[in-house]
Amino acid sequence: MPTLVMKFGGTSVANLDRIARAAKRVALEVANGYDVIVIVSAMSGKTNELVGWVNDTSPLYDAREYDAIVSSGENVTAGLMALRLQEMDIPARSWQGWQVPVKTTSAHSSARIEEIPTDNITAKFGEGMRVAVVAGFQGISPEGRITTLGRGGSDTTAVAFAAAFGAERCDIYTDVDGVYTTDPRITSKARKLDKIAFEEMLELASLGAKVLQTRSVELAMRYKVRLRVLSSFEEPSDKAGTLVCDEEEIMEQNAVAGVAYSRDEAKMTLISVADRPGIAAAIFGPLADAGVNVDMIVQNISEEGRTDMTFSCPTDQVLRAEKAVADAMAKGEINYHDLVTDDGVCKVSVVGIGMRSHAGVAAKMFKALQDESINIKVITTSEIKISVLIDRKYLELAVQALHDAFELEKAA
């Protein structure tokens, strides 16, 4: 029988009533002839509560115990979902990560899945089981300890199971009905996309469209797992949700698929550093060591052996970044005239694989911002993305203007 993976996020299993509703969805797919692997999150709010308990008990906690505690929310929902399905006369049982086993690295609290042997679950399907309910977000390390995959990790569990079992599709049930051209809270013209390419989703996911854990999209792209994002609160339909798929599956393509943003960015400029081989390494090495997530980097044209170096990072990392740079200066590893921080910026990006074949996307973007008198502070581009830093107070205006300029309210 073909296999389908269905993942239910925290709001879709928030209480017994919602678990019952999710189970009905599963029953529909069983009736459609699928062997179903259900991946569940913890009830919404549960993981936060568990993390809070850990912090209140032991601020410098042992990460192995953190994982033992924080993974437990998923165990409860997996068991409850299996019971609910059994009540509906559907042969189902639950599996904790270690029982499968979901083999991971031993990087506690952010482990990576290394292997999912399929024999245990496949054997049960062979014996007539129709639904395997698996606790998401968790696995087992080579040392035999429980691990977790990082916040939002059940998405990654789901995609990894879909890849391992060669599932026809991986349906991610959440509380939004799909992936939008931009944040619908910023413009009511935001449109749900029927399809989006893996690469676009990856850019949108890492740019702050928090629908899917970024790693789950990377994994889906690598193994070509077709992902559907849809709401468990809407009536079932073939048209529901957004399919995240290979670009070959998308026939019509706008130049731009969506506008993403990240609100709390800071721009930092080291004024007049020596322009010599190794200067970038001398600056960004200490920043990396200090755990600063540097995003954009711009080095200016140099004059008389000096150059300016500008980079961006999240606002809550500014103090760490300033200290790392000042320490490098004190050690004589770098030398600059001034460090200028602007922590009032945001990043707005247009994303689309269509950019590869459409000319003039950047020009159109800059013109749209000019028409709103928005000043651009930094520009970076990649093959399928153009990003700008602008004053944070213009974020909404910029997103709306770009959405209009690229006519994203209209389908291709």
Instruction: List contacts with ligand ASP (CB under 6 A).
Output: 9-10, 41-42, 47, 73, 136-137, 151-155
Stretch that binds Mg ion, among 8-16, 30-38, 115-123, 289-297 (CB under 5 A): 8-16
| Closest separation in Å from C-beta 16 to Mg ion | 21
Q: Which is nearer to ligand ASP, 212 or 259 (CB)?
A: 212
Q: Which is nearer to ligand ASP, 9 or 258 (CB)?
A: 9
Q: Which is nearer to ligand ASP, 153 or 352 (CB)?
A: 153
Q: Which is nearer to ligand ASP, 153 or 286 (CB)?
A: 153
Question: Contacts with Mg ion: how many residues (CB under 5 A)?
Answer: 2
Q: Which is nearer to Mg ion, 157 or 253 (CB)?
A: 157
Cα(396)–Cα(228) distance, integer angstroms? 28
| Closest separation in Å from C-beta 377 to ligand ASP | 34
Distances, alpha carbon 302 to alpha carbons 305, 308, 372, 377, in Å: 6, 7, 32, 19
HSE-CB at 246 with a 13 A cutoff on CA atoms is: 7
Q: Which is nearer to ligand ASP, 84 or 215 (CB)?
A: 215
Instruction: Say whether residue 352 binds Mg ion (CB under 5 A).
Output: no
- Given candidates 73, 97, 139, 152, which one binds Mg ion under the rule CB under 5 A? 152
Instruction: Say whether residue 258 binds Mg ion (CB under 5 A).
Output: no
Instruction: Say whether residue 97 binds Mg ion (CB under 5 A).
Output: no
Q: Which is nearer to ligand ASP, 73 or 286 (CB)?
A: 73
Looking at beta carbons, which residue is closest to Mg ion? Answer: 152
| Closest separation in Å from C-beta 210 to Mg ion | 7
Q: Which one of ligand ASP, Mg ion, none interacts with residue 151, CB within 5 to 8 A by kind? A: ligand ASP
Q: Which one of Mg ion, ligand ASP, none interacts with residue 153, CB within 5 to 8 A by kind? A: ligand ASP
| Closest separation in Å from C-beta 69 to Mg ion | 19
Site string for Mg ion, 128-147 (x = CB under 5 A): --------------------
Q: Which is nearer to ligand ASP, 14 or 361 (CB)?
A: 14
| Closest separation in Å from C-beta 14 to ligand ASP | 12
| Closest separation in Å from C-beta 153 to Mg ion | 9
Which residues of the shown chain bind Mg ion in the complex (CB under 5 A)?
9, 152
